[in-house]
Amino acid sequence: MKCYICAEEGKSTDAVAICIVCGMGLCMDHAIRHETELWTGGYPFPAEKIEETIPRILCKYCAMALKKGAPKGG
């Protein structure tokens, strides 16, 4: 698989990751690591936030969308 963003730029670079949201192949230069919060608790609502995070890989488009959708002050 090749990096989609590099392909848009006319380059051919092997992908090393896949965006967790849209599935786009990404090279090391275009993969964005995002730390996702963990919550614990029962259904239907989480009870408390855990200190640890889970790393997720995003493309620049999904990272921008996630940042725009984040609550103010958080």
pLDDT by residue (tens digit) across 31-73?
999 988 888 887 777 678 888 888 999 999 999 998 887 665 5
pTM score of the predicted model? 0.73
Determine the Cα–Cα distance for residues 15 and 26; give it in Å rounded to an integer. Answer: 5
Q: Please report, as a single letter, which amino acid is at residue 2.
A: K
Expressed in percent and rounded to 5, the helix, strand and coil fractions of the chain are 20, 35, 45
The per-residue pLDDT for 72 is 58
The residue ranges of every structural domain in the chain are: 2-67
Query: Which of the pair, 69 or 21, is modelled with greater confidence?
Result: 21
Give CA separation, 8 vs 21, 33, 37, 51, 72, in Å: 19, 21, 32, 38, 33
Q: What is the average pLDDT across 12-20?
A: 97
